[in-house]
Amino acid sequence: MKKLGLISDPHAYPEPVAEALSIFKHEQVDAIWCTGDVAGYGAELEQTISLLQKSDCQLIMGNHEIEYLQKNSEMAGSDIHSYLSSLPRVKQQNIEGKTVYMVHASPPDFLKGGIRLLDQLGNVIESEKQSWATRLSDFEPEVLIVGHTHQVFAERLGSTLVINPGSSQFNHSCAILSLPDLNVQWFALSGQSIRKSWNWGMELSSD
């Protein structure tokens, strides 16, 4: 069995990231994946990136990375700019016989929009679940890991288990996925209860 530590949307706040990494170490995960948006909102991007790099976290591109690179083009060649520029848009790997696919918002490689399944109270919207199950009907990987929407869920959509670990900063959450049994374990961060939905009502383009 393998354990995959999952973190999402740190948004340049290192403290919850450090706590999540401590949990992952204690739980002896085999690898750590982050769905992107390490940039944005917070003011400690360099420190947050450093934590992820030291943990060998597999990070992909989010929409806030694109925005950071565009707004800071004069920093091209700097360590941060070079690192963010090198990030892939997706990650796919076979682990314990299961194909695991990670993208920031939704497949194949979208960075905005995202899979939004919950209402403002954190309850599943059945019509959205059914809609996304239909949209993912031809999606082959057994596991899809996403972020972007600042929602916390693990829902089977068709033949795919879709997991959003939630923002470490705003949802106060991270997760561990066990493979091949596809068990998801949730962990609260920052002394807070996990907030299943955050940012409700804001335009998707602002997420």
Q: What is the pLDDT of residues 150-203, one digit of tens each?
A: 999 999 999 999 999 999 999 999 999 999 999 999 999 999 999 999 976 543
- Domain ranges for the chain, please list them: 2-206
> And the tokens for 17?
């990231």
Sign of CA dihedral 198, 204, 49, 177: positive
pTM of the complete model? 0.94
Q: How far apart are the first and last CA of the chain?
A: 35
Report the C-alpha dihedral over residues 109, 111, 115, 120, rounded to 10 degrees: 170
The verdict on whether omega for the bond into residue 108 sits within 30 degrees of 0, i.e. cis, is: yes
> And the tokens for 144?
């899809």
Tens of pLDDT, residue by residue over 32-45, are: 999 999 999 999 99
Tens of pLDDT, residue by residue over 61-114, are: 999 999 999 999 888 888 999 999 999 999 999 999 999 999 999 999 999 999
For residue 167, the tally of other CB atoms under 10 A from its CB is 31
Write the CATH number of the domain with boundaries 2-206: 3.60.21.10
Query: Residue 185 forms beta bridges with which residues?
Result: 176
